[in-house]
Amino acid sequence: MSKFQVFHFLICAVVIFVSGCSAPVLVADETQNWEDNTQYFNATLVVDDDFIIEEVWVSYARHYWPDMTAANRVEAEQVEAGSQAGAWRALVTEAPTFWKADSLFYVWGVKYRKQGSDETRTAYSVPNTREPHRRIVACSDASIEATLAQVFQTMTLLRQQSGQNIHPAYALSPAHLGPVSLEGQGVPYSHTATVAQTALKVHDARYNNIQPGVPALLLYSPQSNDVVDITDATSDEPYTLIGAAYGALHINAQRRPRMGCIPSENWFLHEAGYHLRDGGFHRTAPNESVPGQTPIALPGGPNTPAQIPGSPPYQPDPAPQVDNPVSVLPAVWHPRLWDLHFWFSTDADAGIVLAADTPSGQPGLSVPAQTFFFPETFQ
């Protein structure tokens, strides 16, 4: 059993499925893990003699799987002319633009008919088209494990240095009155230097090369019992480091950032909004038909000069409407942020897990729904 558990990291096995028939056409995916120079999907077809292939294609998307109809589509061709059966491949012309660690989802489709009939049927390479094949561009299982191991080592060192207190290199956000624990998150403390670097990634190639070194945030679990109120602004020692976060500005709604060999599907969005003085959050989400489709990087858009979110704060109109504005204002606004959260597992042998919220069920002040969410955009 692997030391590291990663949500959504199951590699799809090759399966065969034919819609509405007893398998006169079989589609077996043979695509290997994509390396930097890979441009083809590959499959083998088995076709009964009484049937004619009308069309073979691959539907595919990176980062997020929408469905067969919304995904990209490329027509396939036989590797060698002759029988309809045998090797087929589909050339993806934009493959050279794929980034290392891009999550690549895809499904083969074959339209066919019986000789002498105009009725067509469709065969797919998976039993359920909502559960596609999955490959990680230019990253093996071992390289994914290596990136996770690097993050785990960093977090372990930071936990040792923290002891039962907050790490000396991290501080509370200036928006907060005190160390309030958030439900599912714990108490967030930011590393000033890395927060500044996040803002400067607007025009920085490091968006494609975020280093799994010092995290932008550390997330702590405070002492919790019947006497202590972990949702007020007072300190609640002792603290235990439970998680770490890395991030980048939302300068591209489709293109996820990259950090080592962490598959791109694991990046999620922290919604734009105000961090309130009492530890709460007020979302300033746009109206959009697809969750996450609107880039919100800086006040004037992605081409304005970079500035550190919250210093000075950009105050969009309208200001947040709250029941008790005196207790929560002034508030600090930030744009949409791409986030990766790593958590120490509750299983001592499992190392770390990737998830928006801690698997330990951290209690605390509730935050609005969709404060953290996985966008439905793709490439």
- Domains of the chain, earliest start first: 17-136 (2.60.40), 141-373 (no CATH)
Q: What pLDDT was estimated at residue 89?
A: 95
Q: Comparing C-alpha atoms, which of 327, 136, 362 is closest to residue 233?
A: 327
Q: What pLDDT was estimated at residue 308?
A: 37
CB-CB neighbours of 374 under 10 Å: 16
Instruction: Choose the most confident range, by mean pLDDT, from 21-25, 69-73, 358-362.
Output: 69-73
Q: What pLDDT was estimated at residue 298?
A: 58
* Range from 16-30, 72-86, 112-126 carrying the lowest mean pLDDT: 16-30
Mean pLDDT for 151-175 is 89
Q: Comparing C-alpha atoms, which of 191, 171, 185, 167 is closest to residue 231?
A: 185
Q: What pLDDT was estimated at residue 226?
A: 60
Distance CA(197)–CA(307), nearest Å, equals: 10
Torsion of CA 161, 163, 167, 171, to 10 degrees: 180
With a cut of 50, say whether residue 358 has pLDDT above it.
Answer: yes
Average pLDDT, the chain: 81
Mean pLDDT for 313-332 is 50
Scanning the structure block, which residue is given the tokens 């595919």?
A: 60
CB-CB neighbours of 224 under 10 Å: 14
Distance CA(244)–CA(214), nearest Å, equals: 9
Report DSSP state, residue 175.
Answer: T
User: Would you say the pTM of this structure is higher than 0.75?
Assistant: yes
How much of the chain, in percent, has pLDDT values that exceed 70? 77
Mean pLDDT for 335-342 is 91
With a cut of 70, say whether residue 91 has pLDDT above it.
Answer: yes
Tens digits of residue pLDDT in 185-205: 999 998 866 555 554 444 444
